[in-house]
Amino acid sequence: MAIDFGYGSGTGDEEFPPFFKMDAQVGVCKVRIAKDVEPQIPYPFRAAYDMKNMRMLHLCFPRDGGPQRLFFGDLVGPAEKPPPIGLLRNGEPNEFKVGFEVFMYVTDKLQEMGDKAVGIVPWCACSVGATMSFNVMHDIWVENDGEAKVDMLPIFVCQGKKTLNIGKGSTNILQYESDGWVERAKIPGFADALANRVGSNVAVPRGQGVDESSLQAQGSEDIFPAGDMAQDSPPLDVPPEPDDDSIPF
């Protein structure tokens, strides 16, 4: 089943911008370009991640209708339970899977993308392996005072995967190394990508104990124990697109 994070499920003929995917079961990273077109990004690969503007995602699968996604803003505490949306067969509220969304710029070039850099892509996921992989990056980001670097994006090199046994199964976690910083404003198109990212496709039911004013289209939330997310960065000036295929960092 293709999970709809709002960036195009790829199950039909709809067009959508490329997005990053991690198959945690086998530990492979890909970029989805079109239906049935998902070239693998070989290890190691290098990318800058906008940790400052990451968003927490609650995703549920009601019995009727498509998946419902709810991005939480930065006023919702990490201990706050998500509001129930819809009902299960026994009348109990639906449970959400908790995930994340982060925008990234991948410098590696792929033949399927015209031998150009993958560029700006969203990574939206709720699998255990993907969330644990993001935890690794988040911890490194916090340890390097990333929360204070409002306009800077951390650069990470993903060296590969590590298989972890969980219960009766296993998952794969990406292994990252810090590789410096880059100003967000130096990456052409990044501000536009943030401004146009998808929002929640369901409203929060009233009376559920959640401050509705906190559900902002571009809110951020800390679901990871290493530190607190700061407020969103202010609107950014968009630099002109480069005339060549040069990498901005």
The structural domains of the chain, with segments of one domain joined by +, span 19-56+101-198
pLDDT, one tens digit per residue, over 34-78 is 888 999 999 999 999 999 998 887 777 666 666 677 776 533 444
What six digits make up the tokens of 53? 């503007």
More confident residue, 129 or 237: 129
Q: How far apart are CA 107 and CA 187, in angstroms?
A: 11
> What pTM was computed for the model?
0.75
DSSP conformation class of 93: B
Compute the half-sphere exposure of residue 90: CA atoms within 13 Å on the CB side of its CA. 3
Terminal Cα-to-Cα distance of the chain (whole angstroms): 37
Q: How far apart are CA 1 and CA 66, in angstroms?
A: 11
Please report the pLDDT score of residue 202 as a whole number: 66
Region 202-213: mean pLDDT is 44
Cβ-based neighbours of 89, under 8 Å, separated by 6 or more: 63
